[in-house]
Amino acid sequence: MFVIVQLNHGEHRFGEIRSRKGPPKLKEFIVTRVAVVLLTVATVIVFALMAAAVAATLARLDGASYPAALMRAAATFAAVVTIATAVTGVLAQCLS
């Protein structure tokens, strides 16, 4: 008994799958990049909130009223986010 098998066995069935291997890698790269950006944004926001809490606490220990302490916390939060945005912009220009 002899079994005759083609040299390219299965190529006709899986030819479409082999030709589509490129785009999923690109999608994986995009998803990874988006995940890194989202994690970085979350980290910046957490640090900005921590800095704002420290600023509000120090303002209260200095004798400021609650509204004044909240204003200092808001200013600190805005400053940290602004500095992070400026640094990101400079890094984006340098790396591209």
pLDDT for 58 equals 97
The pTM of the whole model exceeds 0.85: no
Tokens encoding 60: 């209260």
pLDDT tens digits in sequence order for the chain, 96 residues long = 556 655 555 555 555 555 555 555 666 677 788 888 899 999 999 999 999 999 999 999 999 999 999 999 999 999 999 999 999 999 988 987
pLDDT for 95 equals 83
CA atoms 73, 78, 84, 87: torsion sign: negative
- With beta carbons less than 8 A apart as the criterion, state whether 58 and 26 touch: no
Distance CA 47, CA 77 (A): 9
pLDDT for 60 equals 97
Nearest alpha-carbon partner for 70 in 57, 80, 56: 56
